[in-house]
Chain A
Amino acid sequence: MTDIIKTSKLCKTFSNGGIQQHVLRNIDMTIRKGDFTIIMGASGAGKSTLLYSLSGMDKPTLGEISFDGEEITKKNSDQMAMFRRKNCGFVFQQTYLVDSMSVLDNVMAAGLLNDNDRNAVIKRSQDILKKVDIGEELWGKFPNQLSGGEAQRVGIARAFVNSPKIVFADEPTGALNSKTGKDVLDALTGFNRNGQTIVMVTHDMTSARRGNRILYVRDGEIAGELDLGTYVSGDRDRHQKLRDFLSGMGW
């Protein structure tokens, strides 16, 4: 498999009142195309910072990130926005849908960024909403009229509507109950099976099992890596393997 993202000596330091906090330290890593990569770690380990640095949402303090061979850390804010619209999809823990827009408009607002053919975008948005099990009766509703699971699936539809090269998910099930969380994970797994590259941050083992590759972050460094192989529902060995790996990491 080829790498889609490659980092070199990636560092991120926050400065607050003269006190410097090194959140990421000299990270060299790769994200492979088609992988469902899971980033795990304890709270404050730097996993979300790593995710948003990889996606270009946040700028690293030092180091380089190469996306499909293109160095992205030197891009300015608007260039990064253009980069994201072309290459990335995002699923957030808090969904972050635009409250003043209907469900369909939320998805289309992303779809129309890359495609001026309105009819094609409408069709694609509707198809993807159906795919994440958001029925037509919900398309005209506003985000605050949806349940948490429905809203998150709309968020997933928005992330995938442009068929991005990579989707970044930041604890997408963190605010959901187990049933709706499972639906969301099923949706993500489904997209990954069709070849979609996904990078997901989670501290939930159930969610982590969906990935085929686990990266464990500790104190701003990649402390360990586990290849889990393709996800198969009910695979107990896989579950144990992950448990052992995490135990070894001090989880």
Chain B
Amino acid sequence: MNKIILLTKSHFKKNRGSSVGILLLMVIASLLISMSLLIITDAYPTARKESDRLNAGDGYLRVTTNSGSFDDDGIRTLMGDDVSEYCVYRCLNYVACALPFGDGDMSVNVMVGDRDAFGKTIGRTEIVTEDISVKSDYIYLPYQFSTSGGYSIGDTFSFDLNGGRYVLTVRGFTTTPYHGCNNTGSFELVVDDATYERIYERDHEVASCVTIYYKLREGVTQSKFAIRVNNDVIVMDPMAVITGNLSIENTISGRTFMSLILVVSFLTITAIVAFVIVLMLSNSISIFIRENMKTIGALKAIGYTSSDIRRSVIAQFLILSVIGSLTGIIVSFISMPFIGKFIVAQMGIPYTVSFNAIPVIVTVGSMLIFTFLIAELAVIKIRKIEPIIALRNGLESHNFKRNSLPLSKSPFSLDMSLGLKTMFFNMKQNIITFLIMGVIVFICILGLLMYENFNRNPKLGMLAFEVTGGVVAFDNDTKEEAREYLEDREDATNIRQIITLDMTYNGEDSLCVYIVDDTAKLNNQDVCYQGRLPQYDNEIAVSGVFARDYSLNIGEEVSITYGDRSYPYLITGLIQTTNNNGREGVMSMDAAGRVIDLTNSPGYFWFDCEDKETSAAILEGCNERFGDHLLSKMNFYEIIDGSLMTFKSLAALMLVTIVIISAAVILLVLYLLIKALIYNKRRDYGIYKAIGYTSRDLVLQTAISFMPSILISTVLFSVISYFTVNPFMNIIMISFGLMKCSFDIPIPGVVITAAGMIVLSFIFALISSGRVRKIEAYEMITGE
């Protein structure tokens, strides 16, 4: 054992540079693996863990009603035998209310209550942080307002509710399983008792609501329960409006949706980078053995067995692997609060990284197994090394059969010609460079795509059913007049009516249906990725996820029910949607008429306009003209600013991460490859120097020798990535309901990325080639 330790120590001493390079690659690989595992096992499940902690139950039903039918007895009857336990919370509720958030507004359903909110037994609301010195006119905001809304305790929070203006001081932030994230469409505000009284007095007739959090009995399905209570509520109070009927599963998936996109993308990138590192490590170990051939020969000559030497080499890499993986794990735990903050910011949940054994065990274990396998495979050749051959020359790995690029025929300059000759000499390493650069180009283009489509120019059509400038809702009395008003305004264009209703399929699943007066007016025609949008009164388009789950196809009929009326609609197309768990459909007003009479329903008008200011002017115009007849208004531009802020940060973070990792990998790969090349060619470099080549000439030639593979790979894989990254994203996004991705890939961005990588690689290659300077011609002659 002592001799193995002795040999291992000697390997480390002799190969400090390579060992450090390989160690850094191992640190990067371990960091990525550990961080991915932490995201999956710690950060991402935060929503579920928090829901369990807050006793979320199975779901909640929220009904806006003033009817006395929803007293305790009425609710007990409504819940019936399906529910084992429930909790009732009464407050005020406002549909589609704009709250200031980030740089814009957030349009969500807003529940306003007093401190009774903290007394819920199921679906509890808890204070995360507060300042009890704020005694009056205060408000508790959902924690997401702190993580991504830009608010702190003590800030002033000004907002409008049903035409009333309120200016309150932020006393604290709350966490809740159902109403703390914009992606679940519902926020819960808790105000001081006096303020609540004031708001209640003003709005209780239109905003009183009852929310029931429940736990279902075993065997009762959420969808069937929801369908039943929806019908029962209408029977209990025909004027009641169900403003929320969500399961905890839907809430969690909505809450984590955007994070999941990034988590999956991050994991994909991790897998690709890990592949690069695997490739590089196996190559590095091979190079290590070649570089140490003479030492191995000498050791064999003095009596060490192949087995001794193999064990010492494997021990060296296993030690590096343990150090590398532990360092990577430590760095991942240190950086996780920062990364995790981004991941959970969108969820609006307080997050603290907890010690988790899985990333530690899996990372160390996988790195050790992987290193052992690679090293074991690589050291097999040690057995074949005859001491005398190893002592003389090492194993000759080059067979000079062809004089590649004869100087007498080369059209290039001397440096270029000699650089290219070196490239041919070093073909295997250049192939590895080619492959690694190709993979790195691909992930950089992937990062560029994410940045472009989620940050710089958000691809809203991929995330939302329709893109617009603003939405206004009017009561039935004024909706026709309002439509004329909007159509007369020059700054509002493409006026269309879109109503959203929850319908049911086969009595077993719900389907959120967009009812559109004219589907041809939709800006987001790409929402229909197969077939066509419905036109006639017997047609419907359903989401691809829904069609897949129920084995439905275009041309088939699907029975849709609303209340007590059903109709078998013909499926004309499949739409892609990320909302409502992929349970969405679209039909025309005439088609909706088959199951519902919309004559007396409010009018929801969507309009296009130039910009945020124009939208605000139109909304203000509607407000002035129609006053209380205006039920709700939404400036889409402000909503985008508010709701995409965190997502934009995440996309930018992803791009920065990719750029840093790519640069580090390129640097390490070139360092190790060039170091090996210089070692193999040190005799040649000595000769070149003796006959008059300067270090500058040789550094340039060495760097040039890697550039053709880098150049060709970067250009080729830029083109390949341009055409394949969308299908690749499709594979990732299909699980989110996006069946056909058409993300924008900016060609200038691709060109800049490729050019940047080439320049960066050349600089790194020059820096790594600098070690040529250490070679002295005289040392070559004297054999030093």
Contact = CB atoms under 8 A, between A and B. Distances in A.
Contact of B691 (A100, A113, A125): A113
A125 B406 CA distance: 13
A36 to B, nearest CB: 21
Contacts of B91: none
A77 B403 contact: no
A127 interface: no
Contacts of B695: 77-78, 81
Interface string B658-697: 0000000000000000000000000110111111111111
A57 B690 CA distance: 7
Contacts of A102: 403, 406
Nearest to A142: B400
Contact of A144 (B400, B693, B780, B781): B400
A140 interface: yes
B776 A77 contact: yes
Contact of A84 (B407, B684, B690): B690
Nearest to A159: B691
A94 B690 CA distance: 13
B692 A99 contact: no
A110 B408 contact: no
A99 B684 contact: yes
Contacts of B686: 96
A113 B689 CA distance: 11
Interface in B709-738: none
Contacts of A113: 414, 691-693
A87 to B, nearest CB: 9
B689 A81 contact: yes
Contact of A122 (B408, B689, B693, B697): B408
Contacts of A67: none
B308 to A, nearest CB: 30
A23 to B, nearest CB: 12
A14 to B, nearest CB: 10
Contact-residue bracket for chain B: 20 to 34
B781 A82 contact: no
Interface in A78-113: 78, 81-82, 84-86, 88-90, 92, 94, 96-102, 104-105, 108-110, 112-113
Given A57-B777, A100-B421, A105 B692 contact: no
Given A110-B691, A113-B414, A105 B403 contact: yes
Contact of A98 (B406, B684, B696): B684
B392 interface: no
Interface residues of A, number: 38
Contacts of A99: 398, 400, 683-684
Contacts of A82: 692, 694
A77 B694 CA distance: 8
A248 to B, nearest CB: 30
Contacts of A98: 684, 687-688
Given A77-B695, A101-B421, A113-B414, A52 B781 contact: yes
Given A57-B781, A109-B418, A170-B781, A142 B691 contact: no
Interface string B335-379: 000000000000000000000000000000000000000000000
Contacts of A92: 690, 781
A57 B688 contact: no
A17 to B, nearest CB: 15
Contacts of B521: none
A5 B689 CA distance: 21
B687 A97 contact: yes
B385 to A, nearest CB: 20
A158 interface: yes
Most B CB atoms within 10 A — which of A52, A94, A96, A170? Answer: A96
A82 B689 CA distance: 9
B773 interface: yes
A14 B697 CA distance: 29
A200 to B, nearest CB: 15
Contact of A142 (B403, B407, B692, B697): B403
A113 B406 CA distance: 16
Nearest to A145: B400
A58 interface: yes
B691 A109 contact: yes
A235 B696 CA distance: 49
Given A52-B781, A102-B403, A142-B403, A84 B691 contact: yes
Contacts of A96: 683, 686-687, 690, 780-781
A108 B407 contact: yes
A142 B697 CA distance: 23
Contacts of B690: 57, 84, 90, 92, 96
B536 interface: no
Interface string B510-526: 00000000000000000
Contacts of A158: 691
Contact of A112 (B414, B425, B687, B696): B414
B304 interface: no
Nearest to A102: B403
B778 interface: yes
Contacts of A116: 414
Interface in B98-125: none
A145 B35 CA distance: 55
A102 B407 CA distance: 9
Given A85-B691, A98-B688, A104 B773 contact: no
A124 B421 CA distance: 22
A231 B194 CA distance: 121
B694 A81 contact: yes
Contacts of A125: 408
B398 A109 contact: no
A86 B692 contact: yes
A78 B694 contact: yes
B687 A88 contact: no
Interface in B406-433: 406-408, 410, 414, 418, 421, 425
Contacts of A84: 690-692
A118 B687 CA distance: 21
Contacts of A144: 400
Contacts of B780: 96
A110 B692 contact: yes
A185 to B, nearest CB: 21
Contacts of B776: 77
Contacts of A94: 781
A101 B403 contact: yes
A113 B417 CA distance: 12
B694 A105 contact: no
Interface in B207-249: none
A50 B694 CA distance: 22
Contacts of B418: 109
Nearest to A139: B408
Contacts of B414: 109, 112-113, 116
B773 A77 contact: yes
A251 to B, nearest CB: 24
Contacts of A110: 691-692
Contacts of B781: 52, 57, 92, 94, 96, 170
A85 B687 contact: no
A122 B781 CA distance: 28
Most A CB atoms within 10 A — which of B406, B687, B691? Answer: B691
A82 B403 CA distance: 27
A244 to B, nearest CB: 33
A90 B777 CA distance: 12
Interface of B: 398, 400, 403, 406-408, 410, 414, 418, 421, 425, 683-684, 686-697, 773, 776-778, 780-781
Given A99-B684, A100-B425, A105-B421, 10 more contacts: A77-B694, A77-B773, A78-B696, A84-B690, A85-B691, A89-B691, A96-B683, A101-B403, A109-B691, A113-B692
9 contacts: A57-B778, A77-B776, A82-B692, A84-B692, A89-B691, A104-B406, A113-B414, A113-B693, A142-B400
Which 10 residue pairs are nearest across A and B when measured between Cβ atoms? A85-B692, A102-B403, A78-B694, A81-B694, A108-B407, A142-B400, A84-B692, A58-B778, A112-B414, A105-B407
